[in-house]
């Protein structure tokens, strides 16, 4: 029974990340493309920022509503969450800065 819960939670994580990366990753690409920034060259920083945002969201909120009930279910420390969020926002802002610096 425990194995089934772990597998279901892993599938849930995969679906959450896939859906949120598709939705949240499309927003920066749409904005950057509309202002003429080369997303093929610098877009990877925005996607990395989106992944970090989703990771923080999962660890602080979404993991408590899943099937897995076991060890290791705790929120990230506030300092770590703030640091990761600042880093993610910086990565989301990097493509325009890099585009204008290296163009």
pTM above 0.75, yes or no: yes
Considering the chain, what is the average pLDDT of its residues?
89
* Per-residue confidence (pLDDT) for residue 79, from 0 to 100: 97
If 0-12 CB within 10 Å is exposed, 13-18 middle and 19+ buried, where does residue 18 land?
A: exposed
Cα dihedral 10→49→30→14 (10° resolution): 0
pLDDT at 74: 85
Residue 69 has pLDDT above 80, yes or no: no
CB count within 10 Å of CB 56 equals: 20
């Amino acid at each position: 029974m425990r194995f089934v819960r772990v597998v279901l939670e892993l599938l849930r994580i995969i679906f959450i990340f896939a859906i949120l990366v598709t939705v949240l990753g499309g927003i920066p690409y749409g904005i950057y493309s509309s202002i003429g920034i080369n997303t093929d060259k610098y877009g990877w920083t925005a996607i990395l920022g989106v992944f970090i945002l989703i990771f923080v969201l999962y660890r602080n909120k979404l993991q408590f509503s899943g099937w897995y009930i076991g060890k290791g279910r705790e929120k990230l420390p506030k300092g770590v969450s703030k640091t990761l969020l600042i880093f993610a926002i910086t990565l989301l802002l990097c493509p325009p800065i890099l585009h204008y610096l290296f163009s």
